[in-house]
Amino acid sequence: MPNIKFRASCRTLTSHAGLSIIGQCCEIAGVDSIDSRFPTTLGMRTSDVIKSYLGLLCLGMSDYDAVENFRRDKPFQQLLTLQKVPSAATLRQRLEKLAANDLQARTATWSTTLLSLIEAPITAETTHVCLDIDTFVMDNSNSKKEGVSRTYQKVDGYTPIAAYLGNEGWCLGLELRPSKQHTMKESNAFLERVLPRAQCLTKQPILLREDSGFDSQAHLALLEQQRQVFADEGRRLDYVVKWNPRGSATADRDTWLAVAADYWEELRPGKRQALWTQTVSSHDDNKTEYVVQRVMRLVERTADGDGQLLLEPDYELEGWWTSLDEAPEAVIKRYQAS
């Protein structure tokens, strides 16, 4: 048996010492500067309100009432350099007021400021630094929160949209959305907010990767416009967006088989694939035409992996919109690495 000794101590013990790092990040990002933009003549500082709620989120608590447990918690106050910890009512009222005054626009640069000042490593995937944008599900089942509804994963909650930069996955944007909101709704505006943040953090070429939920002519047109903006600044922006094979595009199997006839290669007995690149015209809302390329893959299976023959051939059609001037296999590999 180990010889364990217990002794009394007059020191303050806390289970959330990790907030010291959060406090340092807030200091580097310049959170206290928000006080000059949202000054108060008396009462709670704006920065104290924001840092208190950030502290709660970092401890896995999102309810305003949870702050009551920390009002007399000295380590919580000291680690986050707070003058005062707000009450639940103050926290709720001030955050609602700040949100109405466009707090998000004021705080959008904090993450890029922090990453820039600490010289965070941003690793490229081969020739490009990848910027991944996607939505995901937040499960809020059995709650009555505003905006909660059924998600595509068959649970009640939200579907936020997020942007992550580099192999490290630095978060450059995270915005809450109702679950019933379609992926593409307001996604163009989100992209326009995120791209300048990525530009500030890396001088390397950027590769934007998105799934089929972002497949729309307006979005592809915006990507081509942003590529031109980057080019005018001597920068490079590329993209890979998964094609959404809507019913009308996949209905005519004979046409796809005819196109694929010159590209078949056998992967194993009973399975072959065809890879090719085609150019497609796309238009924005102003009817401006853009010529974009799409990598296509058609897979035919006449037997499963165990060699069992199928009664009828099984076909799988996929596509990826891209600006990369690379072989189809390389484009698909880049997307699958996301």
Give the span between the Cα atoms of 123 and 202, in whole angstroms: 10
Which element (helix H / strand E) includes 272? strand 271-283
pLDDT tens, position by position, 7-17: 888 877 777 87
Percent above pLDDT 90 for the chain: 68
Closest CA to 64 of 88, 48, 85: 88
Looking up tokens 């991944």 gives 132
Q: CA 229 → CA 148, 195, 199, 330, distances in Å?
A: 38, 11, 12, 25
Q: CA 267 → CA 103, 283, 294, 295, 301, distances in Å?
A: 54, 37, 22, 19, 10
pLDDT tens, position by position, 147-180: 888 888 788 899 999 999 999 999 999 998 888 8
pLDDT value at 208 more than 60? yes
Backbone angles phi, psi at 162, to 5 degrees: -140, 155
Question: 292 with 324: CB under 8 angstroms?
Answer: no
What pLDDT is stored for residue 250 in this prediction? 65
pLDDT value at 1 more than 60? no
Question: 122 with 102: CB under 8 angstroms?
Answer: no
What is the distance in angstroms between the CA of the first residue and the CA of the last residue of the chain? Answer: 49
pLDDT tens, position by position, 95-144: 999 988 888 888 888 999 999 999 999 999 889 999 999 999 988 888 88
pLDDT tens, position by position, 215-233: 999 999 999 999 999 999 9
What pLDDT is stored for residue 2 in this prediction? 65
pLDDT tens, position by position, 240-297: 999 998 775 666 888 999 999 999 999 999 999 999 999 998 877 777 888 999 999 9
Nearby residues of 243 by Cβ (< 8 Å), 6 or more positions away: 212, 215, 294, 318, 319, 320, 321
SS (H, E, C) 289-308: EEEEEEEEEEEEEEECCCCC
Which pairing describes strands 271-283 and 289-303: parallel, antiparallel, or unpaired?
antiparallel
Sorting pLDDT into bands at 50, 70 and 90, what band is 316?
Answer: very high
Give the span between the Cα atoms of 164 and 78, in whole angstroms: 31
Please, what is the average pLDDT of the chain? 91
What pLDDT is stored for residue 229 in this prediction? 95
What pLDDT is stored for residue 286 in this prediction? 77
Backbone angles phi, psi at 52, to 5 degrees: -65, -45
